[in-house]
Amino acid sequence: MFDNYPSIPYFGYKDENVKTPITFPAEHQDIQPGMEYKMNPLPIFEDPNYIPSGKLQNKTVIISGGDSGIGRAISILFAKEGADIVINYFNEHEDANYTKQLIENYGSRCVLIPGDLRNENLSKYIADTTMNLFGKIDILINNCGVQFPQNSILDISSSQLRDTFETNIFTFFHLTKAVLPHLKAHNSIINTTSITAFAGKKNLIDYSATKGAITVFTKSLALSLADQKIRVNAVAPGPIWTPLIPSSFNEEEIQIFGTETPLKRAGQPFELAPAYLYLASDESRYVTGQIIHVNGGTIV
């Protein structure tokens, strides 16, 4: 199924002196962070040829934004490797319930905890619920986020700025603080940052700033927790086909999404998930404070 790339066929070309391949049909969603079940085409969240080897057997994982997109791909892959999954999501119930069904089909347990992580009390509830149900927390993945493109910094309202920072970085602080007392040596924290933290993006100034904060948060926290043997790393995705994309950009931008990369296409969530698996497993026992870039070949 995945022998011939791109996974999604070209739909035509935009001719503006240079031919730009159109990789996705025009679409847009008017809600953040978007609904995966409404997307066309649907993101590819798992590799059917993948052979698990028990890398996360009996591990317990908390993941924010685990209902769809990158989070769904991580949740499914981790379940295949034997982990039980606790998913926090905002209000995308249809996506979350489908992800739960997929996880349970692989024999793992899954708990869904909806709610807005900007409420700091929710983080403590997630940690306490996980401990009550599973007795331990082995891996934390901070993965939730929003983005609201604007053509100029003058168009970014104080309300948008506050919302973006509270969702994208404050939630990482809240959930990490709530989970940390339960983590032990050799446990792992993994954060989702972005290529925009390194390359910037002119119409995502506030979003890129939060991703820069996440990157430095990752490195600083790794140093802080090194003596406790708790590893902290991050993954920096490039353009990945997730619900955040049609809920952020206009129809014309969607059509050529990802074509600016050296590989000339957007990535699929399943192509990103193995980076998180590596950082969560014992294979990365000597890795902390690092950022793995999965971006289609862009040098940062």
Q: Does residue 276 have an active-site annotation?
A: no
* Residue 100 and residue 122 in contact, taking contact as beta carbons nearer than 8 Å: no
Closest listed residue to residue 87, CA positions, set 63, 123, 117: 63
The two beta strands, 12-16 and 291-294, are unpaired
The Cβ of residue 63 has, within 10 Å, a number of other Cβ atoms equal to: 28
Point out the catalytic residue in the list 207, 276, 278, 286: 207
* Residue 90 and residue 114 in contact, taking contact as beta carbons nearer than 8 Å: yes
Q: How far apart are alpha carbons 300 and 295 in whole angstroms?
A: 10
* Residue 266 and residue 240 in contact, taking contact as beta carbons nearer than 8 Å: yes
Q: How far apart are alpha carbons 127 and 107 in whole angstroms?
A: 23
* Residue 189 and residue 176 in contact, taking contact as beta carbons nearer than 8 Å: yes
- Amino acid (one-letter) located at 252: E
Report helix, strand and coil shares of the chain as percent, to nearest 5: 40, 15, 45
Q: How far apart are alpha carbons 291 and 214 in whole angstroms?
A: 11
Q: What is the DSSP letter of 116?
A: -
Q: How far apart are alpha carbons 68 and 107 in whole angstroms?
A: 19
Residues labelled catalytic: 207
